[in-house]
């Protein structure tokens, strides 16, 4: 799933996804458009948002994800008639409405296929493209769909809502009631974001005199706190942070890269896995990355291999084996309850919130210690708990998924709001005339019956802001999202001149992409490429060109001096050394004798510029098993992508693409037409690493990367699909939201 906020302001340099989404989505307030409870303690299914102001205009509302149009409500002309149904509650309320259905994927198999709806209500304007659409037509993520209107005479507000039925809510969250079960590990088919570990009260902690990733002395067991704890593992820009929480969600403390002082732990995962788990490094890599082995292709050796990490405890920092007995492994896909996620089923009532926990969260606790009054370790710790308690209170309001009757079904009006006629304190004592006026207003803004969503009128509601922040951690690409990575055209140098050619999308390509899509998604997840858009764009900017636009996963260049060890996979492995390095990573035994003989043969073939010395028939020690392994890198459902991920990891490609890219406009003369493209030094270093085997010290050598212009174009295409918003300079230095001449591939 690729998802973005409904407003797309310019992104600040190195701004986190969470910070960007929160800055993009503002305007809601308690009692006036907040989630999940608003005016008169009524359940409220969404947020009232106001657009950011940029370049002297209010930003347009945009589709948050690819979807189809399932409802478009016409916009009434604003009227001064006080009896008009839309003039209610202080003034005019706009009635323009768009509902989109999103069918996408968050993981593997049927449990990963989900549907949800996004509702954009109280619009005052819709663009011509939306007005011309028929119901059922495709709308693409980031497409403009309207402008914020009026809510109770307040300008520049709209109501934004995300809903799902029972079956899809269960798939989205893994459950629709209770806490995360801690009797076993969490979901494997759907796994993303931070990894989490439940440490029972009986967990043993240890104190190592030296780093356990070096020479391992016998640990000195230390008595733990005697209470259950939760530890979260977060990777970001090369580092890994371990955060410890109590069962009530309050913060205990953090550790960062403690295993490798001074080093970026994430970038060392390949080397660390190879060192710690030499019999099966690939499985060890997953243990370090996920805390468990998610796939079935590789098995931990030994099965109880240890995973030591330093974690914060109430009494200090100690080591714990996160693969020890009793430790439960989960991910953000399990919607951790200790981080505030909770489900409330209020589907059998009216719109009054009667859930005691929700009502309690609406009243913030009064801090007993002021921040500016604390000093010293004990008081700072006490204050930290107060702050984290307040954060948790707000999280649990925002992270409440609630099932209740929708505001938008006119047929349920009496059930929803009939209590307003009751005398206080149960109601407002509303008289018949006032109630009838409210009823007409409700009818004027209702759409549920017309929309025919195919679900009952008590859906699950999610805080849209928190939903988007959460699922930005996913990054699992649907068939359509993967297809959109292919540009519609690309340039290459042929017969002494530059030509621009269309990039076809034929049935064999489509079939190949679908065959390998699950493996590719697993690779992007495993090697920390997804969900980060800069890393994903750099990967696809190379992979699409290396595979000739997903046309083939085997170079099959019989004239190359390195044949039959020519390129295979999404980032094509070339030469015996790279193949053997990958096999060792997968726990496949190839002796140093064989490796050295093939290395010598490769050197001879390079010198002679012919492949005779490398032919399999010349080497009896190249077994049928080795030939099969080699072929698997192009033919197996997993190996073509996993080999690319392993190469990405051991080459350090990610180190270049953690920050926002700096794009430079360049041109090529194609016939009599000057065609622009966009180069990027950081991406160029990844391209050099993929093509040459290492980055370059002389930046000018990036221009010698095979197919570099096409790679830049593929990179630009991927940025347009993966990023929330990009800016591209034109010939005059002005910044545009799309590359010059950009044509989106719609599939």
Q: What is the pLDDT of residues 422-458, one digit of tens each?
A: 998 888 899 999 999 999 999 999 999 999 999 999 9
pLDDT surpasses 50 at 313: yes
Of 471, 499, 523, the position where a domain reaches its end is 471
pLDDT of the residue at 366: 45
Of 389-403, 646-660, 705-719, the least confident: 389-403
Q: What is the pLDDT of residue 210?
A: 55
pTM of the predicted structure, to 2 decimals: 0.94
Is 268 a domain residue?
Answer: yes
Kindly calculate the radius of gyration of the chain based on its CA atoms and give it in whole angstroms: 28
Q: What is the pLDDT of residue 378?
A: 36
Q: Note the pLDDT of residue 211.
A: 57
What's the pLDDT band for 225 if we cut at 50, 70, 90? confident
Q: What is the pLDDT of residues 116-169, one digit of tens each?
A: 999 999 999 999 999 999 999 999 999 999 999 999 999 999 999 999 999 999
pLDDT at 552 over 80: yes
Q: Is residue 700 part of a domain?
A: yes
* Residue 187 within a domain: no
Q: How many domains does the chain have?
A: 3
Whether residue 580 has pLDDT greater than 70: yes
- pLDDT for 335-378, tens place per residue? 999 999 999 999 999 999 999 999 998 876 544 433 333 233 33
DSSP H or E segment with residue 378:
helix 377-398
The pLDDT confidence band at residue 380, using thresholds 50, 70 and 90, is: very low
User: 201 and 167 in one domain?
Assistant: no
186 found inside a domain: no
Among 318, 334, 350, residue at a domain's last position = 334
What number of H helices and E strands is found in the chain? 20, 28
State the Cα–Cα distance between residues 444 and 121, nearest whole angstrom. Answer: 12
What tokens were used for 686? 């990844």
CATH number of the domain residue 466 falls in: 2.70.70.10
Q: Would 8 be classed as within a structural domain?
A: no
CA atoms within 13 A on the CB side of 708: 23
pLDDT > 70: percent of the chain = 94
Q: Give every CB contact of residue 184 below 8 A, 6+ residues apart in sequence.
A: 328
Residues 170, 310 within the same domain: no
pLDDT 10s digits, 260-312: 545 688 999 999 999 999 999 999 999 999 999 998 889 999 999 999 999 99
In a shared domain, residues 689 and 588? yes
How many Cα atoms within 13 Å fall on the side-chain side of residue 126? Answer: 23
* pLDDT reading at 661 higher than 70: yes
| Six-digit token string for 355 | 């859930």
Residue 647 lies in a domain: yes
Give the mean model confidence (pLDDT) for residues 198-224.
72
- Is 151 in the same domain as 47? yes
- Do the Cβ atoms of 85 and 443 come closer than 8 Å? yes
Indicate whether 412 and 486 sit together in one domain: no
Question: Is 188 inside any structural domain?
Answer: no
Indicate if 571 and 674 belong to the same structural domain: yes
Structural domain contains residue 181: no
Give the span between the Cα atoms of 486 and 505, in whole angstroms. 8
Q: What pLDDT score was predicted for residue 375?
A: 30
- pLDDT (0 to 100) of residue 302: 93
- For the chain, the average pLDDT equals 92
Say yes or no: 143 and 210 in one domain: no
- 466 and 367 inside one domain: yes
pLDDT above 50: residue 56: yes
The predicted model gives 691-707 an average pLDDT of 94
499 and 486 within one domain: yes
Residue 469, SS3 per DSSP: helix
Positive or negative, the Cα torsion across 263, 265, 267, 273?
A: positive
Q: How confident is the model at residue 213 (pLDDT cuts 50, 70, 90)?
A: low
Clarify whether residues 538 and 396 are in a common domain: no
**Average pLDDT of the residues in 649-673:** 93
The DSSP output letter for 92 is B
The per-residue pLDDT for 258 is 58
Label the pairing between strands 57-58 and 53-54. antiparallel
Owning domain of residue 155: 17-174+339-471
User: Model confidence at 393, in pLDDT bands (50, 70, 90)?
Assistant: confident
Q: Which of these three, 292, 319, 334, is where a domain ends? A: 334
State what percent of residues in the chain have pLDDT above 90: 84
Q: Are residues 238 and 300 in the same domain?
A: yes
Same domain (yes/no): 645, 529? yes
């Amino acid at each position: 799933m690729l998802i973005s906020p409904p407003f797309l302001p310019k992104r600040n340099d190195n701004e986190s996804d969470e910070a960007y989404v929160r800055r993009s989505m503002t305007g809601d307030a308690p009692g006036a458009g907040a989630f999940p409870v608003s005016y008169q303690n009524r359940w409220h299914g969404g947020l009232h948002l106001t657009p950011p102001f940029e370049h002297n205009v209010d930003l347009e509302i945009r589709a948050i994800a690819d979807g189809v149009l399932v409802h478009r409500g016409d916009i009434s002309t604003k009227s001064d008639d006080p009896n008009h149904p839309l003039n209610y509650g202080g003034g005019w309320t706009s009635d323009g409405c768009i509902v989109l259905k999103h069918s996408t994927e968050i993981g593997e198999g049927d449990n990963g296929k989900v549907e949800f709806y996004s509702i954009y209500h109280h619009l005052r304007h819709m663009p011509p493209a939306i007005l011309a659409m028929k119901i059922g037509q495709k709308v693409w993520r980031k497409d403009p769909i309207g402008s914020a209107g009026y809510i109770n005479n307040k300008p520049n507000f709209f109501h934004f809502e995300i809903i799902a039925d029972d079956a899809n809510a269960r798939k989205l969250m893994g459950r629709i009631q209770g806490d995360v079960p801690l009797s076993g590990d969490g979901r494997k088919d759907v796994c993303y974001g931070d990894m989490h570990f439940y440490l029972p009260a009986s967990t043993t902690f240890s104190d190592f005199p030296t780093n356990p990733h070096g020479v391992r002395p016998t640990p000195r067991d230390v008595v733990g706190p005697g209470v259950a704890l939760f530890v979260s593992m977060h990777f970001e820009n090369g580092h890994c942070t371990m955060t410890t929480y109590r069962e009530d969600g309050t913060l205990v403390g953090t550790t960062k890269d403690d295993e490798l002082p001074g080093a970026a732990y994430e970038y060392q995962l390949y080397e660390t896995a190879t060192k710690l788990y030499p019999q099966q490094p690939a499985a060890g890599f997953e243990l370090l990355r996920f805390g468990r082995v998610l796939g079935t292709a590789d098995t931990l050796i030994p099965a109880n291999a240890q995973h030591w990490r330093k974690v914060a405890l109430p009494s200090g920092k100690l080591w714990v084996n996160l693969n020890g007995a009793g430790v439960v492994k989960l991910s953000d896909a399990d919607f951790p309850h200790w981080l505030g996620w909770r489900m409330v089923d209020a589907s059998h009532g009216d719109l009054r919130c009667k859930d005691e926990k929700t009502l309690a969260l609406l009243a913030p606790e009064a801090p007993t210690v002021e921040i500016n009054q604390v000093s010293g370790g004990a008081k700072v710790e006490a204050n930290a708990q107060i702050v984290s308690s307040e954060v948790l209170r707000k999280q649990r309001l925002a992270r409440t998924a609630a099932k209740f009757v929708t505001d938008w079904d006119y047929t349920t009006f009496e059930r929803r709001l009939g209590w307003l006629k009751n005398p206080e304190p149960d109601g407002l004592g509303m008289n018949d005339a006032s109630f009838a006026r409210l009823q007409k207003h409700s009818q004027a803004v209702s759409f549920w019956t017309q929309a025919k969503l195919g679900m009952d009128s008590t859906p699950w509601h999610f805080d849209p802001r928190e939903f988007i922040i959460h699922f930005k951690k996913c990054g699992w690409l649907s068939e359509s999202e993967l297809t959109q990575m292919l540009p519609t055209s690309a340039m290459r140098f042929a017969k002494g001149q530059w030509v621009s050619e269309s990039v076809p999308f034929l049935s064999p390509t489509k079939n190949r992409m679908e065959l390998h899509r699950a493996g590719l998604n697993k690779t992007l997840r495993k090697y920390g490429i997804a969900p980060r858009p800069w890393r994903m764009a750099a990967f696809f900017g190379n992979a699409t060109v290396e595979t000739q636009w997903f046309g083939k996963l085997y170079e099959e260049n019989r004239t190359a001096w390195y044949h039959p060890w020519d390129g295979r996979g999404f980032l094509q492995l070339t030469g015996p050394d790279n193949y053997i390095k990958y096999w060792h990573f997968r726990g496949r035994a190839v002796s140093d004798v064989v490796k050295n003989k093939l290395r010598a043969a490769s050197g001879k073939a390079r010198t002679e510029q012919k492949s005779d010395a490398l032919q399999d028939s010349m080497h009896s020690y190249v077994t049928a098993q080795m030939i099969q392994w080699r072929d698997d890198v192009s033919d197996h459902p997993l190996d073509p992508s996993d080999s690319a991920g392993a190469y990405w990891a051991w080459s350090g490609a990610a180190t270049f693409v953690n920050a926002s890219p700096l794009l430079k406009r360049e041109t090529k003369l194609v016939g009599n037409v000057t065609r622009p493209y966009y180069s990027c030094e950081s991406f160029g270093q990844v391209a050099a690493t993929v093509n040459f085997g290492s980055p370059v010290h002389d930046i000018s050598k990036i221009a010698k990367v095979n197919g570099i212009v096409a790679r830049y174009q593929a990179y630009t295409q991927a940025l347009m699909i993966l990023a929330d918003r990009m800016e591209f300079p034109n010939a005059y230095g002005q910044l545009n939201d799309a590359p010059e001449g950009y044509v989106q591939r719609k599939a």
